[in-house]
Amino acid sequence: MLQKEIHHETVAEYFLAELDQGSKFFTNDYVLDEAWTRLITQQGLNAAKKLKSKAKQAEKQRQLLILWTDETLFDRAWKNFVKFAEHKLSFTDAVIATVVKDLKIDEILTLDQGFKKVGLVVKPQLG
C-alpha cells in the first residue's frame, strides 16, 4: 500500500516469502490504529478502509491474529514503557514488545530498528 516507501519492495518480498513458508502473523489494535492514521493522512480514507478490509479478510482466513489490548496488557506495557524509557519507545512500541515477549514470538516484521534495543529480533534485515 505504501509503494512510495523506500523499503516497500523489501518488506513486501519478505512478507510474501514468510507467508509461503506458513509463518503465522500477529498484530494488535495499536498497530492497526497507527497504520490507519498514517494511511488516512498520507493517502486518504479509502486506503485506510482497504487495509481494514484486508486485515479482516486475513483474520477470517486465519492468516492473521489481531490481539486486543485489555487493561492487563495495558498495565504490563506501561511497566515496559517505564523500564525502557531511555530508549524512548512509544507506548505502542511498548505494547508490541510486551506482546512479543509474553507470547515468545520469534521476530517482528518492522522497519523500526529501535526494537533491537529491547532485545527483539527485527526482520527484514536491511543493508
Domains and CATH numbers, the chain: 8-123 (3.40.50.1010)
Number of Cβ within 10 Å of residue 7's Cβ equals 13
Give me the chain's average pLDDT, please.
90
User: Do residues 68 and 87 make contact, with C-beta atoms less than 8 angstroms apart?
Assistant: no
Banded model confidence at residue 93, pLDDT cuts 50, 70, 90: very high
Q: Return the closest-CA partner of residue 29 out of 75, 76, 96, 89.
A: 96
Query: What is the average pLDDT across 101-125?
Result: 90
Q: What pTM was computed for the model?
A: 0.84
Alpha-carbon distance of 47 to 107, in angstroms, equals 27
- CA distances 52 to 33, 60, 94, 114, Å, are 10, 12, 23, 26
Query: What is the average pLDDT across 77-89?
Result: 94
12 contacts: CB under 8 Å, gap ≥ 6: none
Burial 15-46 (b: 16+ CB within 10 A, else e): eeebeeeeeeebbbebbbeebbeebeeeeeee
User: Do residues 96 and 30 make contact, with C-beta atoms less than 8 angstroms apart?
Assistant: yes
**pLDDT score at 15:** 87
User: Is the predicted pLDDT of residue 111 greater than 90, yes or no?
Assistant: no
Cα 126–chain centre separation: 17
Query: What is the average pLDDT across 81-94?
Result: 94
**pLDDT score at 76:** 97
User: Is the predicted pLDDT of residue 78 greater than 80, yes or no?
Assistant: yes
Cell of 109: 516484521
**pLDDT score at 59:** 93
